[in-house]
Amino acid sequence: MSTNPIPPRTAGSRLRAIVAGSSGNLVEWFDWYTYSATALYFAPVFFPKGDQTAQLLQAAAVFAVGFLARPIGAWLMGIYADRAGRRAAMTLSVAIMCVGTLIIAALPGAATIGVAAPAILVFARILQGLSLGGEYGASATYMSEVAGREHRGFWSSFNYVTLIGGQLLALGVLIVLQTILTPEQMDSWGWRVPFVIGAILAIAFLYLRMSMEESASYLSARASGAELASTRLLFTHYPREALTILALTAGGSLTFYVYTTYMQKFLTITAGFSKEQATEISAASLVVFMLVQPAFGYLSDKVGRKALLLFAYGGGAMLIWPIMTGIAAAGAPSLALAWIVTGILFQSGYTSVNAVFKAELFPANVRVLGVALPYALANAIFGGTAEYVALWFKSNGIEQGFYVYVATLLATGFIVVLTMPDTKRYSRIVED
């Protein structure tokens, strides 16, 4: 293979790469979160039996099934991205997401096709899970690789800017629909509109990703003749790194979903707000969450990734109980929002460096697989089940037990962070 040096990126090409990687990521997460944002409306369509909590519990179970597909997508697409390139994997993931979203948009309800409706919903959600499992590792790695050494924390934080932006866009579309449609129209067909929008956006950004430049890290790894990515290579050569990601994702992902997708339901069924109020409060908190990511990412370039992770896990573990009980008793939307913002500021210590510290743990030839697979495994087990576990605790009359569960995983993450190096100082991303 050629050993010609890879020319450094210009500021313009670096910015174009970040935009191309993050914009497709935005669409992927919009499609993924549309399910959760509209679940209050479509749960009775596919699961007509039982009260609202029972219907949401079944919808949350399907949400969790999608997460179970993410490790498979992460494994297959991670190997593919490390072998065929980041661009190829990121393009394929958008295409798969488009198909799954279109299926949900057009799927008849249980009243029309019976038990086939929830079965097909599960299939579509599995497709979305496969797509997102591949998307996260490829996009997080790509954005970290093209960001540049000096501002890697800042630029890679846009991975979560677009991730949160996708969820915010889903809620924004829902708010617009709630404004212009009647409740009956929303229950009947209005909830399908965001899925149609998501599929159209996925097609548009598919073409943008096809024109992306490949990362220098991938090109250098292929030119060097380094061993090709495999599951054996990951777990025999980098077991500590993989276990570190597994442990930190458990608490980090769980808490993220508490403050985002589950919070909309919590505000309705526990805090007593209307569907519309819950959606508006969630949307406002997500705006703050999205906007603070670059600031925390910039801070990590100054003080290191480890300091922010200690802040997130330590502070999050101590505050989850008072924050959740404060939201439950808030009464006023502004007070509930203040409690949520307090939680997400601590959570931002994790989300802002979530992509970069994981990418910095691995060499380029196994980087996407290393970032994606342990993250997806922990995300499936703890993040994907967040709503289901929370609703299970509530349905059994012990809702506060869920707060203890979250605090325990965060405290475990805090201990793990104490034992890991600061990846800003010991990064394995050597290309700039």
Residue 132 sits in a domain whose CATH number is: 1.20.1250.20
* 3-class SS of residue 353: coil
Is it the case that residue 130 has pLDDT exceeding 70? yes
Instruction: Let me know if residue 220 belongs to a domain.
Output: yes
**What is the chain's mean pLDDT, rounded?**
89
Distance CA 371, CA 286 (A): 25
- Quickly state the pLDDT bin for 5 (edges 50, 70, 90): very low
pTM of the model: 0.85
So what's the pLDDT on residue 4? 45
To 5 degrees, how large is the angle CA 355–CA 247–CA 128? 55
Q: Give 243's contacts (C-beta < 8 A, 6+ positions apart).
A: 374
DSSP designation for 5: P
pLDDT tens column, 143-182? 999 888 888 999 999 988 988 888 888 888 988 998 899 9
pLDDT tens column, 243-279? 999 999 999 999 999 998 899 889 999 998 998 899 8
Range of the domain at 341: 11-419
So what's the pLDDT on residue 3? 43
| Low-confidence winner among 3-7, 59-63, 406-410 (lowest mean pLDDT) | 3-7
Instruction: Let me know if residue 430 belongs to a domain.
Output: no
Instruction: Let me know if residue 2 belongs to a domain.
Output: no
> Looking at residues 50-72, what average pLDDT do you find?
78
So what's the pLDDT on residue 11? 66
Residue type, 418: L
Residue of 131, 392, 361 lying closest to 247 (CA atoms): 361
| Low-confidence winner among 22-31, 227-236, 261-270, 273-282 (lowest mean pLDDT) | 22-31
More confident position, 430 or 2:
430
Instruction: Let me know if residue 103 belongs to a domain.
Output: yes
Instruction: Let me know if residue 431 belongs to a domain.
Output: no
pLDDT tens column, 298-341? 999 999 999 999 999 999 999 999 999 999 999 899 999 999 99
Residue where the block lists tokens 């969450």: 289
pLDDT tens column, 353-396? 999 999 999 999 999 999 999 999 998 889 888 988 999 999 89
Instruction: Let me know if residue 50 belongs to a domain.
Output: yes
More confident position, 222 or 78:
78
State the total domains in the chain: 1
Instruction: Let me know if residue 4 belongs to a domain.
Output: no
37-41, 122-126, 218-222, 246-250: range with highest mean pLDDT: 246-250
Is it the case that residue 1 has pLDDT exceeding 60? no
Instruction: Let me know if residue 322 belongs to a domain.
Output: yes
So what's the pLDDT on residue 8? 59
DSSP designation for 10: P
